[in-house]
Amino acid sequence: MIKDNIAAVRERIDAAAKRAGRDPEEIKLIAVSKTMPVEMLKEAYEAGQRDFGENRVQELVPKMEELPADIRWHLIGQLQKNKVKYISGKTELIHSVDSIGLAQFIDKEAKKRGVVSDILLEVNIAGEKSKSGFNPEEVLDAAEQISALDGVRIRGLMTVAPLVENAEDNRIYFRNLKHLYIDMQNKNMDNSMVDTLSMGMSGDFEVAVEEGATMVRVGTAIFGKRSYEIT
């Protein structure tokens, strides 16, 4: 049952936090519900889950309209500029800002609506050619430029670590992102409140917590494997 899966994941988060000498309350669980039917999200909601992550705007918007208003929605997948208008002012957090140009577009749409959009800058921490995101060497300079935008607020960093069989293989990437996160906090930029480090998924979230994650994005361990795609 989804309720039991959520409880098991939270227990694992708590144990990992305690191993690292951290307060488990510092870590927020994002239930990654992409491709999952509304009924499964309702079951997670009834189990107390309030933060949900979706990859695609065209899937997020209908779910947002059908599910309770107190859900906090996180856009965790690649965001196309022409889709920004559909979620502006409606998401808790956009995790996947991978360019200055996208940040500027989010800023423009936010100003139209008189809101401020909270964002994370996505970092391609392992330098994988198949993934988007800022290079680690450029993200802090990019953050300085983005912080000049009034319609967005930088909350921190996000990464999608490599898909590995042994979660320990990703420890170095999580550790390196944490160092960048601390450097970003020390910059004291305008229009920022750097308090969020989004890293770790079903296969490696415990290692991510040990290395400082404040958000983990867990799908399979909660909802099971995905066997279909919503079009």
**Backbone φ, ψ for residue 218 (5° rounding):** -120, 120
Domains in the chain (CATH in brackets) are 2-223 (3.20.20.10)
| pLDDT computed for residue 188 by the predictor | 86
Count the alpha carbons within 13 Å of 75 in the hemisphere toward its beta carbon.
29
Angle at 215 between CA 192 and CA 54, to 5 degrees: 95
Instruction: Provide the whole-model pTM.
Output: 0.95
Q: Check if the beta carbon of residue 90 is closer than 8 Å to that of residue 73.
A: yes
Can you say whether residue 62 is alpha, beta or left, with left for phi > 0 and alpha for psi between -120 and 50 degrees? Answer: alpha
Distance, CA of 199 to CA of 157 (rounded, Å): 8
pLDDT tens track of the chain, all 231 residues?
A: 999 999 999 999 999 999 999 999 999 999 999 999 999 999 999 999 999 999 999 999 999 999 999 999 999 999 999 999 999 999 999 999 999 999 999 999 999 999 999 999 999 999 999 999 999 999 999 999 999 999 999 999 999 999 999 999 999 999 999 999 999 999 989 888 999 999 999 999 999 999 999 999 999 999 998 754 443
Identity of the amino acid at 153: R
Report which of 87, 46, 37 is spatially closest to residue 66, judged by C-alpha positions.
37
